[in-house]
Homo-oligomer: A and B are copies of this chain.
């Protein structure tokens, strides 16, 4: 993966944040980077290829930024903070949440990488909650992990719609009370 390919992915991610898979075109990315759309096809033959690269990169970066649950004293709190920080920084919803909403019209390979994002996030949260709430039964851990992920993804989407980060903060505060 060279620098140009990496820049193309970055540009696509930013455009997806602004409105989804159909909100980025090769020409727009080309204009953004000061090159021509044919050059993008050299790095990513089809839009599907670029879409897969985007979701994979986003997933890897997201999970890398989380580190290991055991790196944090209250990992579930840290997870919530990550969503809030991202909303503040980009004033947009989660890239994989945006793409998930369009899933029905996305190539199968992209849907599969979205499923991978989901699986790994929920697995991380389950480990986080097991660590943070050691006396919880496994079923409660699983349900809470799934619900936490869903509340943050949905909350981020609607907070971005309302341009209101406080919306997501309220949800975060509410969730944290449940981890006691």
Contact = CB atoms under 8 A, between A and B. Distances in A.
Contact of A154 (B104, B114, B144, B153): B153
Residues of A in contact with B, size category? 35 or more
A153 B157 CA distance: 9
A171 B122 CA distance: 13
Complex copy number for this chain: 2
A144 B175 CA distance: 9
A157 B97 contact: yes
Given A92-B104, A101-B101, A118 B161 contact: yes
A162 to B, nearest CB: 6
A23 B102 CA distance: 8
A174 B158 contact: no
Contacts of A152: 150, 154
29 contacts: A19-B102, A19-B104, A19-B106, A20-B20, A20-B101, A20-B102, A22-B102, A23-B102, A23-B105, A100-B101, A101-B101, A102-B102, A103-B160, A114-B161, A115-B162, A118-B161, A142-B170, A143-B173, A146-B167, A147-B151, A147-B170, A149-B154, A150-B158, A151-B151, A153-B154, A153-B158, A154-B154, A154-B155, A178-B178
Given A151-B151, A178-B178, 6 more contacts: A19-B106, A100-B160, A100-B161, A101-B101, A146-B171, A147-B151
In order of increasing CB-CB distance, the 9 nearest A-B pairs are A154-B154, A19-B105, A101-B101, A150-B155, A153-B154, A150-B154, A22-B22, A151-B151, A19-B104
